[in-house]
Amino acid sequence: MAAPKIALLMGSKNDLPKLQSCIDTINEFGIPLTVRVMSAHRTPAQVMEFTETAADNGIQVILAAAGMAAHLAGVVSAHTILPVIGIPVEGGPLKGLDALYSTVQMPGGIPVGTVGIGKGGVKNAALLALQIVALSDKSLAEKLRTFRKEQGEAVIKADEELQASL
């Protein structure tokens, strides 16, 4: 099995169903992925150990997903200069707004690129990670261009169908 180029970390196994589309998207593009449960609060030593060795292990980008007081992406970013994409997980009493603020409002010097709450954000996290890997992978870049083209064609077709039905 090829060494993973992308890591997806989540703060709780309970987050997994909300992240499945991220995993599916990365798998569809054929890029090796590792998926792990680790928590900035509950297993801080594991987060640090994984993150500090990630680059040497061939990881090119880390996705860090957490809900509520979501510190995972920030803590990960504190321990690596790999690009870190934070995914605020929807849920809890505040529906993910707490996770969004916790993830996006990083102090200057420790960046986390943060996607939106919900389905679109989860998909964009996968695509953004793939686009980072594509900087050094021409075949992946071509697949991403094809994806964009087909996505646009689907919108044009939907518009044509709408016009025909009016």
Contact string 20-59 vs ligand RP5 (x = CB under 6 A): -------------------x--------------------
**Residue 129: CB atoms within 10 Å:** 27
Decide: is 63 part of the binding site for ligand RP5 (CB under 6 A): no
Question: Residue 64's closest CA among 113, 108, 137, 29?
Answer: 113
Footprint (CB under 6 A) of ligand RP5, residues 112-151:
none
Decide: is 11 part of the binding site for ligand RP5 (CB under 6 A): yes
Q: How far apart are CA 112 and CA 74, in angstroms?
A: 6
Cβ nearer to ligand RP5, comparing 73 with 133: 73
Decide: is 96 part of the binding site for ligand RP5 (CB under 6 A): no
Stretch that binds ligand RP5, among 7-15, 20-28, 78-86, 144-152 (CB under 6 A): 7-15
Q: How far apart are CA 156 and CA 164, in angstroms?
A: 12
Question: Residue 125's closest CA among 77, 62, 74, 37?
Answer: 62
66's enclosing H/E stretch is: strand 61-67
Binding site for ligand RP5 (CB under 6 A): 11-12, 14-15, 39, 66-68, 89, 91
